[in-house]
Amino acid sequence: MDVGTYIPIFSQHTSYIITTHLNPDGDGLGSQLALREYLLSIGKTVRCINHSNTPRHYKFLDPGDTNIEVYNPNNHDRIIAEADCIVVVDTNAPSRLGDMEQTVRNSGAVKIVIDHHLDKDEFADYYIVDEEAAATGEIVFRMLTVGMKNTLTDSIAVALYTAIMTDTGSYRFPKTNRTTHLMTAELLKYKVDPSMIYREVYERGPVNRMVLLGKTLSTLQLHHNDRVAVMKVSKRMFDETHTDLVETDGFVNYAMQIDNVEIGLLLTEWEETIKISFRARGDVRVNELAKEYHGNGHQHAAGATIPDGNLDELMKRVVKSARKYLS
């Protein structure tokens, strides 16, 4: 994809809102903050506003909580309505903007989506979408180094390294390729500490998280000749361990460590919803399974959120649905 075609758009406006999806991950946050710094450097007014708080393990990207604001309609609806341009990164589905969705839709601002997911939802004016990119951070990297004549800085490099590292599963997911590693090599020319970033994201957390993980692993079930692994996190488990949703990040990946498993599932009760995480390997298209539950994502990693129901009954339904997607 030729990102250069879209570069002039970013010089045509004065005030920008940058946002990303519910429960933001490293790719959404890293892409958001990298683009923010670039736009500020060329004299634009920029506000980063998200539905959700920044998760604990990504706080190092915004240590003072000063660069990313948590959406409050009383504070932000007017700002969003009056913005010249709204940039949505790492999602092309407005429903994933949470409480911000309608305000963003109603705004007269020019809307730009920067993303690498399948099946875009038509709501924006411009789509900078590359489904072959391993991360949205890769697209932003190309914008900042090719289209904009290399405007990387140390902090932009840290943000983009985090984006790419996390969305490639630490460089192990199938879309990771030579280009991904070449981008990373370029980022490492700046003050990027891979050990620090990995530790912040994956190796720090409260002991309660480990207790919750133990309870989650104890729910593990295997189905369809041990090719589907499923786990659950109930409201009661959160209450017993005094934890919240952010501590479940990465739990679903444990299902994929089991021999012969092709599909891993994690169902989580949270705030009157049930969230489903889908993982797969090989030729399995788990994003198609996610669509059955009004979700989406990548071939091997997807998600869905549905209204609150019976956790165990939903788990049985999803497991049954998974069978037809096995290779």
- Tens digits of residue pLDDT in 302-317: 999 998 789 999 999 9
Q: How confident is the model at residue 11 (pLDDT cuts 50, 70, 90)?
A: confident
Tokens of 17: 């809102």
Q: What is the mean pLDDT of residues 40-63?
A: 96
The answer to whether 279 and 244 have CB atoms below 8 angstroms apart is: no
Tens digit of pLDDT for each residue in 178-199?
A: 999 999 999 999 999 999 999 9
3-state SS, one letter per residue, for the chain: CCHHHHHHHHHCCCEEEEECCCCCCHHHHHHHHHHHHHHHHCCCEEEEEECCCCCHHHHHHCCCCCCEEECCHHHHHHHHHHCCEEEEECCCCHHHHHHHHHHHHHCCCEEEEEECCCCCCCCCCEEEECCCCCCHHHHHHHHHHHHCCCCCCHHHHHHHHHHHHHHCCCCCCCCCCHHHHHHHHHHCCCCCCHHHHHHHHHCCCCHHHHHHHHHHHCCCEEECCCCEEEEEECHHHHHHHCCCHHHHCCHHHHHHHCCCCCEEEEEEEECCEEEEEEEECCCCCHHHHHHCCCCEECCCEEEEEEECCCHHHHHHHHHHHHHHHCC
Q: How confident is residue 42, by pLDDT bands cut at 50, 70 and 90?
A: very high
Q: Is residue 296's pLDDT more than 90?
A: no
**Which band of pLDDT confidence, cut at 50, 70 and 90, is reported for residue 271?**
confident
According to DSSP, the residues that pair with 303 across neighbouring strands are 277, 296
Highest-pLDDT range among 112-121, 146-155, 243-252: 243-252
Beta bridge partners of 279: 264, 301
Give percent of the chain with pLDDT exceeding 70.
98
Question: Among positive and negative, which fits the CA dihedral 125, 141, 45, 97?
Answer: positive
Give the pLDDT confidence score for residue 52 in this predicted structure.
93
| Rounded average pLDDT over 40-46 | 96
Using alpha carbons, select from 270, 253, 265, 258 the residue that is nearest to residue 292: 265
pLDDT of 3 higher than 80: no
Is pTM beyond 0.85? Reply is yes
| Structural domains present in the chain | 3-201 (3.90.1640.10), 209-325 (3.10.310.30)
Of 8 and 191, more confident: 191
The more confidently predicted of residues 118 and 291 is 291
Q: State percent of the chain over pLDDT 90.
A: 83
Q: Please, which pLDDT band fits residue 148 given cuts at 50, 70 and 90?
A: low
Are the C-beta atoms of 1 and 93 separated by less than 8 Å? no
Evaluate if residue 225 carries a pLDDT over 70: yes
Residue 223 one-letter amino acid: H
Q: What is the pLDDT of residue 4?
A: 67
